[in-house]
Structure 1
Amino acid sequence: MLKDTVIKINNFIGGGLVRKFVVWIVVIIMLLGALTTIFVQISLTSTLSEELHERGMAISRNLAASSTEPLLIEDTVSLNRLIGNIKKTEKDVEYIFITDAKGKVLVHTFNAGFPGELLTAHTETSSSSRLLDTGDGYVIDFKAPILNGRAGFVHIGLDETSLNEKITQTSRIIMMLTFIVGALGVFMAYIAGDYLTRPIRALVKGAEEIGRGNLGYQIETESTDEIHILSKAFNQMSHNLNNSINELRTSEERYKKLVDGISDAVILIDSQKNILSWNSAAQEIFDYSFEEVVGKSINMLYSPFKGIVTDNMGEILDGEGVFIKKNGMLFPGVVSSRPLQEGADVGRVVVIRDITHQKEMKKLEKQLLQSDRLATIGQLAAGVAHEINNPLANISLYAQMLLKKTEDENAKSKLKTIDDEANRAAHIVQGLLEFARRSELKLNPIDINIEIDKVLSILNHQFNDIKVTTLLEPLPLIYADSGQIRQVIIDILTNSIQAITKNGEIMIRTTANHDHIEISISDNGYGIPRENMDKIFDPFFTTKEPGEGTGLGLSICYGIINRHNGTIDVRSEVGIGTTFTIKLPV
Structure 2
Amino acid sequence: MSIQLKTILGIALIEGVLLIVIILTMMGFIRESNYEGLLKRASTTATLFAATTKDAVLSYDFASLESFVDEVLHNPDLVYARVVAPDGQPFAEAGDLSNLEDGRFVADRGIEHVDDDVFDTSADIAEGGVIFGRVEIGLHIGGVTKAIQAVTRWSAALATIEMALVALFSLILGSYLTGQLKNLRAAARSVAEGDFDIAIPVKGRDEIAEVSSAFNRMAANLKHTNEERSRYERQLKELNQTLEQRVRKRTEELQFKNDELQTAYESLKDTQAKLLQSEKMATVGVLAAGVAHEINNPIGFIMGNLATLREYVEIYHRIIDDYDACCRADSESERLSRLDALRRWMEAQGYDFIRDDVPGLLEDCAEGTERVRDIVLNLREFSHPAQAELSGPIDPNQCVVSTLKMLNNELKYKCRINTDLGELPAIQASPGQLNQVLLNMLVNAGHAIEDQGEIRVTTRREGDSIHIIIEDDGKGIAPQALPRLFDPFYTTKPVGQGTGLGLAISYGIIKDHGGEIAVDSEPGKGTRFTIRLPIGASDPAES
State which structure, 1 or 2, has the greater radius of gyration over its C-alpha atoms.
1
Bigger proportion of residues as strand: 1
Larger RCO: 1 or 2 (CA < 8 Å, sep 6+) = 2
Bigger proportion of residues as helix: 2
TM, length-normalised to structure 2: 0.32
